Amino acid sequence: MSKKTKTHTDHKGHTESTIDEVNTISLIHEWENMLHNPLSYKERVSLGKKMREHKPRNEHAHWKAVREREEPLALLARQDASRVQSMIPLRYGRMMESPFAFFRGSAIVMANDLSTIPRTDALVQLCGDCHLSNFGVFATAERNVIFDLNDFDETLPGPFEWDLKRLAASFVVAAKYNQFSASVGERCVRRIASIYRTKMAQFAEMNTLDVWYERVDFEHLVRHLKKPGRRQSAIEEVSRLKQKRSQAASVLKLTEVVNGRRRIKDNPPLVFHPELATAETTKTLLLSYMRSLWPSRQRLLERFHFVDVALKVVGVGSVGTLGWAILLQGEGGDDDHIFLQMKEANPSVLEPFLGRSRFEYAGARIVNGQRLLQAASDMFLGWTVSDDMNNYYVRQLRDVKASIPVEELDATTFEQYAEVCARVLARGHARTGDAAVITGYLGKGEAFDEALTEFALSYAQQNAYDYETLITAINKGKIHVAPGL
């Protein structure tokens, strides 16, 4: 499973003394100080209020591309250079489907843009690619089904508002894609800002462990999105997906029996067995990956043996990176299987602007960021590094994982969905940052809400312009595409 080894360079010439390394040292000193002189709730709120002096809340409204803004297609092309070249046309085939598809696949573009505007010093663990389709439902180890963030490829510590701005802009872009009136996207952003602000204030006053245990279960999501007298087709579809995406159902759908042996079905170009996928290489990576798990999980995996591996294309922005579906069989015979997904891990698109991760390996960065932000994480979540230094993270392939089909939501339910996403994001940020400081900065009024709304509307226009730039390049033959499939 090899590919050209990638290196991470800071194209803006940032120094090697990164903000993440500096922040790590700063946090250690802050922890030492708090052990002896912990700040009170009121003092931390006061610190947040003081941050307004160098970053007024109304300044978050401003978005205008700087004159030296790097071309979006150039940023995307830089990512393409280290990916499987035969898959690049598929990546752009998916991104050209709509401005929303382009938004989903161009996290690097928005990261670059956010780096050009002033930011706060209120740091949290960022999702890094926080758009409305990167939330979903999945099963916990206890077999509860919860709703949470579900994509962490770009996770990194950074200013809390970066996640909020990407989430807010995604709702404006998606609202237009769903052909809602312009006011729907605006109302979504106002709801996001209001719910985030009020929930953060609540978390700031809660016991630390109570914040950590906070979660949104699937039943709460259904209740929140349910409208009296109306059939909830989108939510019912998620309920059906929950059943279809159990491990047993996934094995039946994604595999077949050939010559008495179960194997993964080929469905090129999305699922196939390339020559570079060898059983021995996969087994070596699995052994390395197991060392990143708790000992109890290691003992559990030892009861499974390798059956098959195939390359599986997923996502929009991830197309062109290596992703593997790995079938394992347990001691119970042909009815006892699990599917693992081994996905290539690259440096976060935020690192050129926020500094390199303190984790040496990208897989470790992703796994640890996910464990911090999610209320509960996949019991098989781990990471590994190949002999040629390609990084991977591993999780179960499906296991009741399902996304909300946002294109099927009506305008009212779409706005309600924005509220739940904001609540989940606030919870993740409160777990990893100082909720009292953020609360002090945001305040009780709507100053930040207004600013975030103005920013999201402006940035959605920027995204539309960038999307048209992509379409023009495709029409001129500068970029080759394959059907999005």
Of residues 318 and 266, the one with the higher pLDDT is 266
Tell me the average pLDDT of the chain: 87
Largest CA distance in the chain: 71
Are β-strands 337-345 and 391-396 bridged in parallel, bridged antiparallel, or unpaired? antiparallel
Task: Look at residue 28 and tell me whether its pLDDT is greater than 80.
Answer: no
pLDDT band at 248 (very low <50, low <70, confident <90, very high): low
CB 98 within 8 A of CB 323: no
Q: Which residues contact 249 (CB under 8 A, 6 or more apart)?
A: 243
CB 405 within 8 A of CB 353: no
Task: Look at residue 41 and tell me whether its pLDDT is greater than 60.
Answer: yes
> Rounded to an integer, what distance in angstroms lies between the CA atom of residue 103 and that of residue 110?
9
Task: Give residue-wise pLDDT tens across range 112-162.
Answer: 999 999 899 999 999 999 999 999 988 888 888 899 999 999 999 999 999
Average pLDDT value for residue range 68-87: 93
333: buried, middle or exposed (CB in 10 Å: 19+, 13-18, 0-12)? exposed
Average pLDDT value for residue range 24-37: 51
**Listed range (3-12, 226-235, 292-301, 464-473) with the worst mean pLDDT:** 3-12
Of the ranges 225-229, 240-244, 269-273, 359-363, which is most confident?
359-363
From its phi and psi, is residue 128 left (phi > 0), alpha (psi between -120 and 50) or beta?
left
pLDDT above 70 as % of the chain: 87
> Rounded to an integer, what distance in angstroms lies between the CA atom of residue 368 and that of residue 433?
15
CB 475 within 8 A of CB 243: no
Q: pTM of whole model > 0.85?
A: yes
3-class DSSP state for residue 328?
strand
Task: Look at residue 19 and tell me whether its pLDDT is greater than 70.
Answer: no
CB 52 within 8 A of CB 387: no
Tokens of 146: 């919860």
First to last CA, the chain: 24
Task: Give residue-wise pLDDT tens across range 375-419.
Answer: 999 999 999 998 888 899 999 987 777 788 888 889 999 999 999
Tokens of 34: 């708090």
Task: Look at residue 271 and tell me whether its pLDDT is greater than 60.
Answer: yes
> Rounded to an integer, what distance in angstroms lies between the CA atom of residue 305 and that of residue 289?
14
Rounded (5°) CA angle 76-82-88: 60
CB 111 within 8 A of CB 79: no
The beta-strand segments (E) located in 98-165 are 123-126, 135-139, 145-149, 156-159
User: Can the peptide bond before residue 269 be classed as cis, meaning omega within 30 degrees of 0?
Assistant: yes
pLDDT at 7: 41
CB 446 within 8 A of CB 194: yes
pLDDT band at 274 (very low <50, low <70, confident <90, very high): confident
> Rounded to an integer, what distance in angstroms lies between the CA atom of residue 349 and that of residue 115?
11
State phi, psi for 185 to the nearest 5 degrees. Answer: -60, -40
Task: Look at residue 32 and tell me whether its pLDDT is greater than 70.
Answer: no
240: buried, middle or exposed (CB in 10 Å: 19+, 13-18, 0-12)? exposed
> Rounded to an integer, what distance in angstroms lies between the CA atom of residue 67 and that of residue 467?
19
Of residues 1 and 375, the one with the higher pLDDT is 375
Task: Give residue-wise pLDDT tens across range 82-126.
Answer: 888 888 999 999 999 999 999 999 999 999 999 999 899 999 999
3-class DSSP state for residue 366?
helix
State phi, psi for 146 to the nearest 5 degrees. Answer: -125, 165
Task: Look at residue 47 and tell me whether its pLDDT is greater than 90.
Answer: yes
> Rounded to an integer, what distance in angstroms lies between the CA atom of residue 327 and that of residue 308?
5
Task: Look at residue 237 and tell me whether its pLDDT is greater than 60.
Answer: no
Tokens of 398: 């499906």
Task: Look at residue 13 and tell me whether its pLDDT is greater than 50.
Answer: no
Domain extent listing, the chain: 19-213+418-475, 242-396
**Listed range (5-14, 343-352, 462-471, 472-481) with the worst mean pLDDT:** 5-14
Within its chain, how far is the Cα of 88 from the centroid?
21
Task: Give residue-wise pLDDT tens across range 180-236.
Answer: 998 999 999 999 999 999 999 999 999 999 999 999 988 888 777 765 545 455 556
- The DSSP call for residue 55 is S
